[in-house]
Amino acid sequence: MKKTIGLRIDVDTFRGTARGVGTLCEILEKYNVKGTFYFSVGPDNMGRHLWRLLKPAFLWKMLRTNAAGLYGPEIVLMGTAWPGPRIGKHHADVIRRTAAAGHECGFHAWDHHYAQARLMTMSREAMRKEISRGVDALTEICGAAPRTSAAPGWRANELLLKVKQEFPFTYNSDCRRGQPFYPVVDGEKLSQLQIPVTLPTYDEVLGRDGVGDDNYNDYQLSLLNEDELNVLTIHAEAEGGRCAPMFDAYLKAVLDRGYRVVPLGSIAEETAGTAPSGKMILAEFPGREGVLAVQETK
């Protein structure tokens, strides 16, 4: 797949939905680009992340990326003293407008924080319930079931892939590294295509190896592979907020270089049936805490 970038936009929080999604839709409209938005529709409990400040690795990451600056001061209180507000209930119109603008709308999470922290240790039944709640809410908002999903924080295991098979997704984006593949679990080739994210996110690289806001776009551009599919994840909270001008410049730069930027659904259509089989494993990943799902390389 020559000179192609699959664009994926993760929406994790109440604030990101309220403020970031609209900003990103404006930027994408300016360049006539469509992307795949992954929405979180249940309660915003991201404030609970603050407890993780007790972990040194997370504290370091917060300092590196100025998370309070990215996510806003509400993140400090959200979900700590009272149940977080339900994003889909308050901002259904934002999700509908995104779909009406021609973007693909996929399922990210019911409760992003809970799923990111616990999904991988859940039983099959608990996983099913967590996904069902979110998919039902998103289906009600959009009037149609989402055909794609993306595990929060790429925290996905093989059981989760099997559970997802029970939902009407045609493809998912749950892991990092590699090219589109059909996961094989317990010797069985699953029918839902997997589209891995190939490029790092803003929070993963900022403050590492001398990368700052002034050279972030140059760094991202240097990672593009002309001959293979590139998949980029941006966040409504970052690129739809403080980093919006930088993302605008990035989009202009890649289009000027002759890249096409497409939603993941387009890639799924182009590779359906022809993508090879592969295996998803858990591994440590630069810029992230703990393990996450990656495509196994041979």
- Say how far residue 91 (Cα) sits from the centre of its chain: 19
Span near Zn ion by CB under 5 A; candidates 49-57, 64-72, 150-158, 179-187? 150-158
Pick 107 or 171: Cβ nearer Zn ion: 107
- Say how far residue 174 (Cα) sits from the centre of its chain: 8
Pick 12 or 174: Cβ nearer Zn ion: 12
**Shortest reach from residue 40's CB to Zn ion, in Å:** 7
Q: Compute φ and ψ for 251, nearest 5 degrees.
A: -60, -45
Q: Is 95 exposed, middle or buried (0-12, 13-18, 19+ CB in 10 A)?
A: buried
**Shortest reach from residue 26's CB to Zn ion, in Å:** 21
CA distance 222 to 215: 11
Pick 238 or 261: Cβ nearer Zn ion: 238
Query: Is 204 one of the binding residues for Zn ion (CB under 5 A)?
Result: no
CA atoms within 13 A on the CB side of 189: 8
Interaction residues for Zn ion, span 42-81 (CB under 5 A): none
**Shortest reach from residue 152's CB to Zn ion, in Å:** 5
Size of the site for Zn ion (CB under 5 A): 3
Query: Is 10 one of the binding residues for Zn ion (CB under 5 A)?
Result: yes
**Shortest reach from residue 108's CB to Zn ion, in Å:** 6
Residues 172/194, Cβ–Cβ less than 8 Å: yes
CA distance 208 to 100: 38
Q: Pick from 12, 111, 130, 237: which binds Zn ion (CB under 5 A)? A: 12
Q: Which two tokens stand for residue 20?
A: 């970031």
Q: Which two tokens stand for residue 221?
A: 């551009």
Pick 149 or 198: Cβ nearer Zn ion: 149
Q: Pick from 152, 178, 180, 183: which binds Zn ion (CB under 5 A)? A: 152
Span near Zn ion by CB under 5 A; candidates 9-17, 161-169, 204-212, 267-275? 9-17
Residues 94/21, Cβ–Cβ less than 8 Å: yes
Where on the chain is the footprint of Zn ion (CB under 5 A)? 10, 12, 152
